[in-house]
Amino acid sequence: MTRLGETLRAYQARDPAARSRLEIFLLYPGVHATIYHRIAHFFYVRRLKFLARLVSQWSRMWTGIEIHPGARIGRRLVIDHGMGIVIGETAEIGDDCLIYHGVTLGGTGKDVGKRHPTIGNNVLIGAGAKVLGPFTVGDNSRIASNSVVLSEIPPDSTAVGVPAKVVRIAGKKVNYVGDVDQVSVSDPVSTELAALRCELNELRRKVEGDAACEAPDETENKE
């Protein structure tokens, strides 16, 4: 089966509103953006970067989806709705991923070379989510809508929030509160008092030692 055929079947499987592959091919901007990107990337890897940019900019105007020609995209990517998606030059996307509108796979402006995220296989990125930086989002992970991901996400995880935190791994809820040892936590007042006690004992030993050294001198003077 061709890549286009795989992509159309993936859209049909993931989008309950899709009625036929012909409708998907003709009317779905995510499909058009992916096709244009394949062409732009073909030019990009052959150092025909002006042509690559020309194709990608046409795709952006036509679909509302901006994919840099240098980005690497796997098979069966589904872009649902798609408007406002931005995918950076060094971003990598694995197979069987689902990306909703308003997603940014971008950089932070602090890195050189590899600047954008690597998305694993079978990853879902919800609407409006921002994944920023040169780290990896593991296979089978889920990024909640409007989350801002700034660090690596393990495989089989669900990340939520700003900045995003992992709340589930392999379907099991991550209990950050339960992981905190609230019994063995040291008392800062007791710690400080113990330190002061040690200093006091040290001073006492020093004073007693000085007194012991001075005592013989006083006896000799009396004789």
**Same domain for 142 and 204:** no
154 within a domain of the structure (yes/no): yes
Q: Under 8 Å CB-to-CB from 34, ≥6 apart: which residues?
A: 7, 73, 77, 79
73 within a domain of the structure (yes/no): yes
In 3D space, the residue among 162, 114, 161, 168 whose CA is nearest the CA of residue 141 turns out to be 168
Question: Domain with 158 in it: what CATH number?
Answer: 2.160.10.10
**Same domain for 223 and 152:** no
**Same domain for 144 and 199:** no
**Same domain for 40 and 10:** yes
**Same domain for 86 and 7:** yes
99 within a domain of the structure (yes/no): yes
In which residue ranges of the chain is pLDDT below 50?
A: 180, 182, 219, 221-223
81 within a domain of the structure (yes/no): yes
State the residue range of the domain holding 67.
Answer: 3-173
Q: What pLDDT sits at residue 214?
A: 65
**Same domain for 123 and 67:** yes
**Same domain for 215 and 108:** no
Q: What pLDDT sits at residue 179?
A: 54
87 within a domain of the structure (yes/no): yes
User: How many angstroms separate the Cα of 62 from the Cα of each of 33, 35, 156, 161, 180?
Assistant: 8, 12, 35, 32, 51
180 within a domain of the structure (yes/no): no
Q: What pLDDT sits at residue 187?
A: 67
Q: What pLDDT sits at residue 194?
A: 85
The tens digit of pLDDT for each residue in 15-44 reads 999 899 999 999 999 999 999 999 999 999
Q: What pLDDT sits at residue 204?
A: 86
Burial class (CB in 10 A: 0-12, 13-18, 19+), 73: buried
- Does pTM top 0.85 for this prediction? no
For the chain, the domain total comes to: 2
**Same domain for 161 and 213:** no
